[in-house]
Amino acid sequence: MSERHFNLVTDPWIKVIDDQNQEQEVSLETLFINAGHYRRLAGEMRSQDLAILRFILAILTTVYSRYNANDQPYDWIELDDQMRPVSFDDDAFDSERKRIEKELLATWHNFYRTSSFSKVVTEYLHKNIQRFDLFDEETPFYQVTREQYDSLVPKNKAIAKGKGTVAVKQMNRTISESNNKPDIFSPNTPTHKDDISLAALTRWLITYQNFTAVTDKTKVIAKEKFSVSKGWLYGLDPVFITGSNLFETLMLNLVLIPATVKFSKQIIDQHPTWEFSVDDYVQMRKDNYFPENIAQLYTIWSRVIHIEWNNERPTIFSAGLPKLDNENAALEPMTTWKLDKKDKKYKPQLRWLNSLGKAMWRNFGQYIRITNGEGISNSSQEPGIVRWLSRLKYERQIDRNLPVHLTTVGLINDGNATSQSPAAEFVDEMQIKADVLFDDNKFNRNSWPQQIEDTVEVTNKVGSLVWRFASNAGGLRGLNDTGAFANKISARFYDQLNHLFYEWLAGLTSEDNHDEKIRECQEVCVN
């Protein structure tokens, strides 16, 4: 194994679409140098792209929370030879918060203005290059060694026993096939379902840690019984910003100052998973320690994995880690939220199969905190990524007419508590200008967000009337299942409406006459 290498820093593995609309596989090094020349990530699934996006953002968040735009360490931090924190100036965080935030924003703005990342990113990767090698003997990427795995699981689950394996066809979410339930419509023939390139394996390894079912029989050893993690992204209703190219997408989602938690040294002190020892990381998970920084959250593991190789075919051993308590999830920027009626705390919103056909605009109020003229909000918590973009607009770091593409991507499980296997993928996007989404006059009843939400409510009421009418019509026809008939008619109504409403949203500007635009929407969308 020592003679084999596949390093994410220098070997191509990330799928992208370039500015000539050609698909490429590129290394991390190449991606950071040429991000402005790629339109977007282009993996096997959009949910895979989201997992890879967060992995890349973890690198950027780590580096630029330590180094400024001139590739110099901030004066409040001391770094070692591997560019990792040794100490922080605690006094600075206690007394100079505004200065620290100003410097972090200046770093962000410099790269956004120049449309390129600095050399310090690739320097960091090369300083830690051993951590990004799929075959490294001591720290294989997103894996543990054979000895570490055996020490973490029960003796009867040791690698020599051959138990607790996950097939490639199960990790590959375009197949998601177990040995007990074959995928009839697989993109691969039965004899090739477990064939995989090293580049594809790397992509699916990252994706699997984010979207994991709960059918595993092997868990890490722990004093207390626990439920295994289903993968952090699997438990969210994700939302992020899509830019005009990959560089802009990365920058608009690069949150250097989280707004949803109290500003402190802990949230600036970034520690992605690869900077931990395996023992320390697993122990933190057993202790239900929730990440205090974004880089660690974006690189979270759901499984301890070890890969054995027989020529070119991997045998993947997987042991479940405890699921995280989502009551402490305020740091997560890429999710919508719901208020738990029992404990009055916000928790990440989930997506279910019955919500699969519901477009983003119909839940507009989940994406932007709406406050009426009396200062009363809609009791929703904005996604952190939306708050970050709002701050960038307020600080004049982005153009007020920037088209904001709010995007949601993810996997929905089958609803079976004992499996939670992927059942469907959802993808949606709505575009709205920054000046409209972040109307400066937040406490005005006539602010754009409030009026958009009012229009959404009216439109949804019309949709409810369509459903009732269809249900009554089905009864008059003597149909056995009037609800199914009404659902079909309602779905057709919204399918026709979605494009019209999204087009109306994208066309709004801060200079528009609100009443005229509302009437336009009612005439085109509702009538």
The boundaries of the domain holding residue 512 are: 446-527
- In this prediction, residue 480 has a pLDDT band, given cuts at 50, 70 and 90, of confident
Mean pLDDT of 369-377: 61
Query: For residue 441, is pLDDT > 80?
Result: no
- 93: part of which helix (H) or strand (E)? helix 90-95
In a domain, 406, yes or no: no
Query: For residue 72, is pLDDT > 50?
Result: yes
Strands (E), 212-366: 240-242, 303-310, 313-320, 337-339, 346-348
In a domain, 285, yes or no: no
Q: How far apart are CA 152 and CA 158, in angstroms?
A: 9
Name the amino acid, one letter, at 313: R
Residues, the chain, total?
527
Q: Going by DSSP bridges, is the β-strand pair 14-18/38-41 parallel, antiparallel, or unpaired?
A: antiparallel
Q: How far apart are CA 512 and CA 503, in angstroms?
A: 15
Query: For residue 168, is pLDDT > 90?
Result: no
Between 181 and 127, residue with greater pLDDT:
127
3-state secondary structure string across 364-393: HHHCCCCECCCCCECCCCCCHHHHHHHHHH
Query: For residue 374, is pLDDT > 80?
Result: no
In a domain, 477, yes or no: yes
Residues 173 and 48: beta-carbon distance below 8 Å: yes
Q: How far apart are CA 57 and CA 389, in angstroms?
A: 16
pTM above 0.75, yes or no: yes
Mean pLDDT of 116-135: 97
Q: Which two tokens stand for residue 10?
A: 């220098």
- In this prediction, residue 184 has a pLDDT band, given cuts at 50, 70 and 90, of very low
**Strands across the sheet containing 165-166:** 165-166, 313-320, 303-310
| Mean pLDDT rounded to a whole number for the chain | 90
Query: For residue 189, is pLDDT > 70?
Result: no
| Dihedral in degrees, nearest 10, Cα atoms 21, 27, 31, 34 | -70
Q: How far apart are CA 332 and CA 294, in angstroms?
A: 7
In a domain, 518, yes or no: yes
Check residue 527 and give its pLDDT: 63
Residues 526 and 455: beta-carbon distance below 8 Å: no
pLDDT in tens, 34-64: 999 999 999 999 999 999 999 999 999 999 9
Check residue 159 and give its pLDDT: 95
In a domain, 65, yes or no: no
Q: Which two tokens stand for residue 487?
A: 């659902």
Alpha helices in 270-416 (DSSP H): 278-286, 294-298, 384-394
Residues 346 and 336: beta-carbon distance below 8 Å: no
Check residue 447 and give its pLDDT: 85
In a domain, 125, yes or no: no
Check residue 345 and give its pLDDT: 84
Check residue 237 and give its pLDDT: 95
Of 2-11, 64-73, 442-451, which range is least confident? 442-451
Q: Which residues pair with 412 in a beta bridge?
A: 424
Between 7 and 463, residue with greater pLDDT:
7
Q: How far apart are CA 377 and CA 366, in angstroms?
A: 12
> Which residues have a Cβ under 8 Å from the Cβ of 501 and sit 6 or more positions away?
359, 361, 459, 521, 525
Query: For residue 319, is pLDDT > 60?
Result: yes
Q: Other CB atoms closer than 10 Å to residue 343's CB: what's the count? A: 9
Between 460 and 185, residue with greater pLDDT:
460
Check residue 369 and give its pLDDT: 82
Q: How far apart are CA 272 and CA 300, in angstroms?
A: 8
Check residue 1 and give its pLDDT: 44
Check residue 415 and give its pLDDT: 85
pLDDT in tens, 212-266: 988 888 999 999 999 999 999 999 999 999 999 999 999 999 999 998 778 888 8
In a domain, 302, yes or no: no
Query: For residue 311, is pLDDT > 90?
Result: no
> Which residues have a Cβ under 8 Å from the Cβ of 221 and sit 6 or more positions away?
152, 153, 154
Q: Which two tokens stand for residue 419?
A: 């499996």
Q: How far apart are CA 449 and CA 460, in angstroms?
A: 16
Check residue 15 and give its pLDDT: 98
Mean pLDDT of 123-143: 97
Query: For residue 380, is pLDDT > 80?
Result: no
Check residue 92 and give its pLDDT: 85
Query: For residue 185, is pLDDT > 60?
Result: no
pLDDT in tens, 278-308: 999 999 999 999 999 999 999 999 999 999 9
Check residue 523 and give its pLDDT: 83
Check residue 370 and give its pLDDT: 82
Of 104-108, 262-266, 292-296, 409-413, which range is least confident? 262-266
Q: How far apart are CA 302 and CA 229, in angstroms?
A: 5
Query: For residue 192, is pLDDT > 90?
Result: no
> Which residues have a Cβ under 8 Å from the Cβ of 141 and sit 6 or more positions away?
8, 131, 132, 133, 134, 202, 205, 274
Q: Which residues pair with 316 in a beta bridge?
A: 166, 307
Q: In the chain, how many domains are there? A: 1
Token pair 């973890």 is found at 58
pLDDT in tens, 12-25: 999 999 999 999 99
Q: Residue 508: which of 436, 457, 449, 438 has the closest Cα? A: 436
Q: Which two tokens stand for residue 96?
A: 């100079």
In a domain, 257, yes or no: no
- In this prediction, residue 111 has a pLDDT band, given cuts at 50, 70 and 90, of very high
Strands (E), 213-325: 240-242, 303-310, 313-320
